[in-house]
């Protein structure tokens, strides 16, 4: 957005020094949030949470140093919104991977400061001629980002059309870690998963997840919190969720990282994705006038 648009956004939705809009990387409009407990930033491009960092902590979300910041491309890192499908389109590989929400221009619905000095930003995305050419349904998305001691991200998807619509989705969270060799992910012990690296083979998790190779898994029938334990930074990141019965764990590892133009060759060592998802058999069918809400709560625990 141009500077005068940012001025209007700040007039209508700015909240003093706690929430303000500015021109960010690639001249994308970004909301900068600074509460007494944490800093965060949200790009209107994609409704994309770029960062979250509680006071005195290392960054919680990871962003690639090679990410694109362009209006027609997704941002690599943070929390991209995958909607109305997760991964490749189920019937047409020519359609954009992970849907169109993460590359669409969202609008600001509102902002507020709440008790306890938390800040909330509400964004909206509605169907258009462009989206209906890709996915022929009317919809209204609402993204609610609340920043305080924890980060709450909630995606509401309302069916504004006359017929049911079926979606998959994800809050595709990228987490910053000290080094992947010092990290385990707990909370999925005993759950079956689809191993996408090995042709969607169905396997069962035993114990915590340690990552030492390319990892791309959809864990099935799981509603439990995940805990990303990071021995190097002596902390754990807790990911709690609602409206989701699948969790995706991803790290591209060395060979795959080299193939990704917006991902540094060595950056796989400093990140892991633990995604709050509706994927695989966890698709949602929403009746006309109905809605589905997908939410993640992200917090830091000291070890």
Active site residues: 172, 275
Distance (Å, whole) CA 223 – CA 240: 8
DSSP three-state, residue 293: strand
Please, where are the H alpha helices in 116-229? Answer: 129-134
Please check whether residue 153 is in contact with residue 75, taking contact to mean a CB–CB distance below 8 angstroms. Answer: no
217-236 b/e (C-beta count within 10 Å ≥ 16 → b):
bbbbebeeebbbbbeebebb
Quote the radius of gyration of the chain (alpha carbons, Å): 18
**Do the Cβ atoms of 138 and 127 come closer than 8 Å?**
yes
Tokens of 161: 């059309």
Give the pairing of strands 192-195 and 271-278.
Answer: unpaired
| Closest residue by Cα to residue 26 from 6, 43, 39, 12 | 43
Q: Using DSSP, state whether 60 is helix, strand or coil.
A: coil
CA 46 to chain centre: 10
Q: 85: Cβ–Cβ under 8 A, 6 or more apart, which residues? A: 98, 99, 167, 168, 169
Distance CA 185, CA 210 (A): 7
Please report which helix (H) or strand (E) contains residue 56, including its range. none
């Amino acid at each position: 957005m141009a500077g005068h648009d940012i001025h209007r956004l700040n007039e209508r939705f700015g909240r003093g020094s706690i929430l303000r809009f500015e021109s960010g990387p690639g001249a994308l409009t970004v909301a900068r949030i600074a509460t007494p407990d944490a800093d965060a930033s949200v790009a209107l491009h994609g409704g994309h949470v770029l960062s979250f960092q509680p006071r005195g902590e290392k960054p919680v979300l990871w962003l690639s140093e090679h990410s694109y910041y362009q209006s027609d491309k997704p941002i690599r890192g943070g929390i991209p919104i995958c909607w109305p499908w997760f991964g490749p389109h189920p019937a047409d590989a020519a359609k954009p991977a992970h849907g169109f929400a993460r590359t669409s221009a969202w609008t600001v619905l509102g902002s507020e400061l709440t008790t306890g000095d938390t800040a909330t930003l509400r964004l909206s995305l509605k169907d258009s001629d462009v989206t209906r050419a890709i996915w022929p349904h009317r919809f209204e998305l609402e993204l609610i980002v609340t920043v305080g001691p924890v980060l709450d991200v909630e995606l509401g998807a309302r069916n504004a059309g006359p017929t049911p619509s079926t979606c998959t989705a994800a809050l595709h969270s990228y987490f910053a870690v000290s080094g992947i060799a010092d990290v385990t992910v707990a909370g999925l012990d005993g759950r079956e998963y689809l191993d996408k690296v090995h042709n969607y083979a169905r396997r069962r998790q035993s114990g915590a997840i340690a990552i030492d190779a390319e990892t791309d898994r959809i864990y099935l029938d799981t509603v439990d919190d995940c805990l990303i334990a990071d021995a190097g930074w002596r902390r754990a990141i807790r990911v709690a969720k609602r409206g989701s019965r699948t969790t995706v764990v991803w790290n591209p590892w060395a060979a795959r990282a080299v193939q990704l133009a917006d991902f540094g060759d060595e950056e796989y060592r400093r990140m892991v994705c633990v995604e709050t998802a509706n994927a695989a058999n966890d698709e949602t069918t929403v009746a006309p006038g109905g809605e589905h809400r997908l939410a993640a709560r992200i917090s830091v625990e000291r070890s």
